[in-house]
Chains A and B, each alone.
Chain A
């Protein structure tokens, strides 16, 4: 019994007690409406420099062609697809937090859903760069869409790559709409509170005349719930279709039915790690510990642990499938991962994604901010390694030993990858500066003042 009484810890609150409608509104909107802190300029400056690195890498790529990258036969998919899958996976946590946790009535999501959704959008933007740049002639990317053209041909809808185009563009559109709809009432708050004329005009135009009418809220809530209901299967479908890019192919190590669930779990895992990576410094820097409390970090750590275990199961099943298939190519693929030239990366991946998250079983680790930050960074790296291993080890030694080869990223691969981090962070810094990073109106609903008395209901 003494053990169970220890585990009955008092959960930290979702919002620190003592806040009112006024204080919540003022505290969150102050980040946008008051002077920009110096730290913001430093962070933005660094991110913007990385974005410039991206522009240099892309300019050189367009001038010279994709020969500047490390991809070549047999490894025709390298960093571009690794990074595409990594970024799009990161985006998935945003949708999970905003849609699935809303449907499950997890109130704690409210503090983190806004910036998690922003993170989704920016991650999808970064993800989209890679397949488009990999086209070689990226300015012709619109050929992917079915439009009547003078060539008289249509895209091949039987190809998973085409499914990907639809999945990712739908995902980007729906995420943008979900995010914007969530912002409308807060934009109205900023319109009414902005001290500058320009601010009032811009927020006013974006708020579209929102005035908080009861009938508007009624339809708004319906729309928001419906969007959540639509986003939930959408987010699952997106990473499922991304996994189809691999599993529909016949390459050893790709052609497995475990791929869709394993990819979706991996996406959520990576995404929560990224939300944690961003939330920990942000709440500290802007003093938002009252709203993003230890409860949130604890819950996110639990989700990471759970999805991490699903991912670990995925690794086990990959090995099992390879052995059980009886196919020498599949068997060789997994042995090559364990002992081949990329084995150090494979074991690093196991260390990052399977071993490290086990610390999250301990409540003491989950309440230690430094440890959580460190674990989430390790998982970010681990998920990148996972995609690298899946793509490169399967391609570099397939059926015919005479066509085996090795792959490594060039300086331009790295520049493009690090450059997209610059794009991501630049967009994130702009978002934090100009839009409320926590949903103000949803935070108001969590306050005790917002409770309706029984006799009135």
Chain B
């Protein structure tokens, strides 16, 4: 028997959203953990089925906002009251009321930047190469189809056993994902 090259995983294709959610639940119940589902739009129930409840993004955004607020206010305080104090309109050097709008804008700017960059970083994007794209039918994942990939790194993964396991869910197709 010739030795087959290692693969990234097995990719099952489904027509219906409910089928893929059920498949994810079955796979999780069977003990699979290294799996990923691909859908053409966000599905809250799918994330729940995969056991994802929280992510770190809100904390990152909160920290970004706090840093933005401190940086914005600090910049104005330091420039207007310490580095180059100058009287404008008879107002105090530390005229904090006038500093609020820019502090607010900096808060929003830093928080929004952390939301976008944080989301991309946590998702590992930009990612120039990923094995699932080796399956030609995967192009339909951004149009109408739903995919479940059980990855070869999973301790329970067995090339033939996992394929038989996936076949029981009656997918439209099962493909091996090459590296």
* Chain A residues proximal to chain B, CB less than 8 Å: 20-22, 25, 146, 152-160, 162-163, 166-167, 170, 173-174, 177-178, 180-181, 185, 188-189, 191-193, 208-223, 226-227, 230-231, 233-234, 237, 241, 244, 441-442, 444-445, 449-453, 456-457
- Write 19 A-B pairs (CB below 8 A) sorted by A numbering: A21-B144, A156-B88, A158-B80, A158-B89, A163-B101, A167-B101, A181-B116, A185-B41, A193-B139, A211-B138, A212-B40, A213-B123, A214-B37, A214-B46, A219-B55, A226-B57, A241-B105, A441-B40, A441-B42
CA A25 – CA B95 in complex, angstroms? Answer: 54
Is B154's beta carbon under 8 Å from chain A? no
Shortest beta-carbon distance, A212 to chain B, in Å?
5
Question: Quick one: given A177-B112, A181-B119, A213-B38, are A218 and B45 in contact (CB under 8 Å)?
Answer: no
> Do residues B57 and A213 form an inter-chain contact, with CB atoms below 8 A?
no
Question: Quick one: given A22-B143, A158-B98, A166-B101, are A226 and B126 in contact (CB under 8 Å)?
Answer: no
Is B162's beta carbon under 8 Å from chain A? no
Question: Quick one: given A158-B95, A174-B112, are A217 and B144 in contact (CB under 8 Å)?
Answer: no
> Do residues B40 and A444 form an inter-chain contact, with CB atoms below 8 A?
yes
> Do residues A215 and B50 form an inter-chain contact, with CB atoms below 8 A?
yes
Residue from B36, B52, B142 in contact with A192 in the complex, judged by beta carbons closer than 8 Å? B142
Shortest beta-carbon distance, A290 to chain B, in Å?
17
Tally B residues with Cβ within 8 Å of A.
71
CA A209 – CA B123 in complex, angstroms? Answer: 10
CA A163 – CA B101 in complex, angstroms? Answer: 6
Closest to A213 in B: B36
Question: Quick one: given A215-B52, A227-B112, A453-B18, are A157 and B128 in contact (CB under 8 Å)?
Answer: no
> Do residues A163 and B102 form an inter-chain contact, with CB atoms below 8 A?
yes
Closest to B141 in A: A212
> Do residues A230 and B123 form an inter-chain contact, with CB atoms below 8 A?
no
Closest to A186 in B: B142
- Residues in chain A near residue B79, CB distance under 8 A: 146, 154-155, 157
Closest to A456 in B: B21
